[in-house]
Amino acid sequence: MKRIAIYDTTLRDGVQGEGVSFSSAGKLRIAKRLDQFGVDYIEGGYAASNPKDMQFFQEAKKLDLAHARIAAFGSTRRANVTAGEDAGVRALLEADTPVVTFFGKSWRLHVRDVLRTTEEENLAMIGDTARYFKERGKEVVYDAEHFFDGYKDHPEYALATLRAAAEAGADVLVLCDTNGGTLPHELYTIVQDVGNRFDVPVGIHAHNDSELGVANSLEAVRAGAVHVQGTINGVGERCGNANLISILPNLTLKMGYACLADGALKQLKDVSQFVNELANLRLSSKAPYVGDSAFAHKAGMHVDGVRKNPQSFEHVNPEDVGNRRRILISELSGASNVFLKAVEMHLDVDRSSPEVRDILKELERLEREGYEFEAAEASFKLLIQKVLKAHRSFFDLEGFRVMVEKRTKDEPCQSEATVKVNVNGETEHTVAEGDGPVNALDHALRRALTRFYPQIAQVFLTDYRVRILDPEEHTAAKTRVLIESSDGHDTWSTVGVSENIIEASWEALVDSVEYKMFLEEEKGKKGHATP
């Protein structure tokens, strides 16, 4: 099985994306996680650009990496100076990394209009820089910037830039589609031509400006490239870089290449989420392979097919990439959807039983009122329990009150909530403040219940969304509230609907808390199960 080297540039090229930034500590955590995942190279930053990147290189030397090699990134020497005299080249050396990656110009347009030097001097800049680092014992990765544009403009000169790097000892020649405008069929032909001309390994660095970053990376490998650069989740400048989260399963599961250690691909979703959390970004539910919708089935016919044979509607096994199958519930649902949800909950229900029809009827009734359960699976699981009379209420509401007060025009609003609940015959009456009325209500409810159910203290809201269902009713419109909650391990979503946004929020909050208790009961049953 042919092996492809994976070069991650999330910490350098990725942070050039709009809204993407990592703290110094965050960069180190990502480097450790990528090493555990099994990537071959981690590009830590641009050595001459800022103190944070240089600090990373110093701290990275203390990391006990099991597999990955740290690379520092920079450019060729400047025109008409020696490599040893160039500040950027010296900064790359000071980074003290085992791998040095530098870029040079492949396109005559850049040589003429950006560097403003001669074509001969540009070749000398590339060769001198590669030689300088090889003489100092570095593994040298040469990034041929704008290579495909340069090749299409003047093939002989673009190839001459690669030859300058190769003859000076570069270990890999990486062809960069820097503007992201090359089409797959063009790229395949060009990579194949380069591979036929050079004995040095060829790599690919694709951008996503034409939505082809992943496709172009795969085509490059098919044409002979053995080194692939990209970023986690495709973050990067403009439209982003080639997305390693999609490239890796495609290379491994679809094309038969070895990229990671056996079993490492099961970490794919976790790695994707880990990087997004540190970047304070939200993973798209529709992200291929790792998104929550990637293996979600809604139409009854599809669900029935998956139940009989998962291959009927799934191109890979979701567990192979660390994901899971989800059965969605909506007006399109059939008995198969409801039945599989009941199976998930370990409920003893037959697919053709009257109970399944009762659940479908209740689902249809609630959806007419504005409820939607596709994005609120926790609420739907509680609905099943209620229809089957298998639901146990953990508390009863005796009442709540929410107050919002603005004392002066210059002071922020203050929110306070009072909640009165009954738990097993005991009444608990609490009050709490919050950033807003829903936040205050959430604090008051959890404060009231924590004495009886300590696990609730672990629950926190991760998302809160409101949708107006009938805007023609103006301020009397019905409101749907979706709440996402987590306990640090599990994440679940709940829904509430009412003309009153606070009441809709309360419904979703109650479902959130009760679902946490449902999870705890399920864990307890498993813990006491006979082996």
Per-residue pLDDT of the chain (531 residues; tens, 9 = 90+): 799 999 999 999 999 999 899 988 999 999 999 999 999 999 999 997 778 899 999 999 999 999 999 999 999 999 999 999 999 999 999 999 999 999 999 999 999 999 999 999 999 999 999 999 999 999 999 999 999 999 999 999 999 999 999 999 999 999 999 999 999 999 999 999 999 999 999 999 999 999 999 999 999 999 999 999 999 999 999 999 999 999 999 999 999 999 999 999 999 999 999 999 889 888 888 999 999 889 887 766 776 787 788 888 899 999 999 998 877 665 555 666 676 666 666 666 666 677 777 877 787 788 778 887 767 788 888 888 888 777 778 899 999 999 999 888 888 888 999 999 999 899 999 999 998 999 999 999 989 999 999 988 888 888 888 888 766 665 567 889 999 999 888 889 999 999 899 999 999 999 999 999 888 877 766 654 443
Host H or E run for residue 431: strand 426-434
Shared domain for 409 and 380, answered yes or no, is no
Shared domain for 383 and 406, answered yes or no, is no
Residue 11 resides in a domain: yes
Shared domain for 105 and 237, answered yes or no, is yes
Residue 188 resides in a domain: yes
- Lay out the sheet containing 491-498: strands in order across: 460-468, 479-486, 491-498
Shared domain for 126 and 238, answered yes or no, is yes
Shared domain for 110 and 190, answered yes or no, is yes
Q: Within the chain, how many helices (H) and strands (E) appear?
A: 17, 16
Burial class of 218 by CB neighbour count within 10 A (0 to 12, 13 to 18, 19+) = buried
Residue 160 resides in a domain: yes
Which backbone phi and psi does 97 adopt, to 5 degrees? -100, 155
**Distance (Å, rounded) from C-alpha 498 to C-alpha 369?**
9
- Which of 362, 387, 412 represents a domain boundary (last residue)? 387
Shared domain for 100 and 204, answered yes or no, is yes
Distances (CA, A) of 420 to 25, 429, 497, 510: 44, 4, 21, 13
Residue 495 resides in a domain: no
Shared domain for 341 and 318, answered yes or no, is yes
Token pair recorded at residue 277: 């959390």
**Distance (Å, rounded) from C-alpha 413 to C-alpha 96?**
53
Shared domain for 115 and 207, answered yes or no, is yes
What is the span of the domain harbouring residue 352? 296-387
- Which of 407, 423, 452 represents a domain boundary (last residue)? 452
Task: Count CA atoms within 13 Å of residue 66 on its CB side.
Answer: 8
Shared domain for 38 and 120, answered yes or no, is yes
- Which of 387, 411, 444 represents a domain boundary (last residue)? 387
Burial class of 412 by CB neighbour count within 10 A (0 to 12, 13 to 18, 19+) = exposed
Which backbone phi and psi does 404 adopt, to 5 degrees? -125, 125
Shared domain for 317 and 444, answered yes or no, is no
Tell which residue, 472, 400, 480, 407, has the closest CA to residue 443.
400
Residue 284 resides in a domain: no
Residue 104 resides in a domain: yes
**What CATH number should be reported for the domain holding residue 447?**
3.30.160
Residue 56 resides in a domain: yes
Shared domain for 314 and 421, answered yes or no, is no
**Distance (Å, rounded) from C-alpha 65 to C-alpha 31?**
9
**What CATH number should be reported for the domain holding residue 235?**
3.20.20.70
Shared domain for 104 and 131, answered yes or no, is yes
Residue 416 resides in a domain: yes
What domain count does the chain have? 3
